[in-house]
Amino acid sequence: MTTTQFLLGLGLGAITGVLAALFGVGGGLIMVPGFIFLFALDQKSAVATSLAVIIAVSLVATTKYASASLVKWQVVLPVMIGAIATTWVAADWLKLLSNEFLTRSFAILMIVVGIRMLFVR
């Protein structure tokens, strides 16, 4: 990794940290496109790398929010069980699907969710 890439990574990490802390986003929304455009990763590697980074980010943010009694633990357990169970299977799907399909599907998802958040409460 070059010095420039390292500095780009620090910047991407800083932006991700702020957005994760304020809006609960960062992995998919910020890091995946950042990894694709700044580091020329393919979609599959960008997703996998983002998930590796988000482990530490999630632990830090959860610790801070839990100390402020903001984490609703009664919601965490069922969602965590469902997410862990389906992620195990879906991680295999990532290997089977093309980068082009994954990139386009991700872009459509971001557009649909963004529009819904703007107009639906």
* Cα–Cα distance measured from residue 101 to residue 110, given in angstroms and rounded to the nearest whole number: 14
Predicted pLDDT at 87: 92
Note if the pTM is more than 0.85: no
Q: For the chain, what is the domain count?
A: 1
Report the percent of the chain where pLDDT is more than 70.
Answer: 100
Q: What is the DSSP string of 54-79?
A: HHHHHHHHHHHHHHTT---HHHHHHH
State whether residue 36 is helix, strand or coil.
Answer: helix
Q: Which of 118, 107, 117, 98 is nearest to 33 (CA)?
A: 107
Domain of 30, in residue numbers: 3-119
Longest dimension (CA), the chain: 45
pLDDT, tens only, 41-77: 999 999 999 999 999 888 999 999 999 999 999 999 9
Q: What percent of the chain has pLDDT over 90?
A: 77
pLDDT at 86 over 90: yes
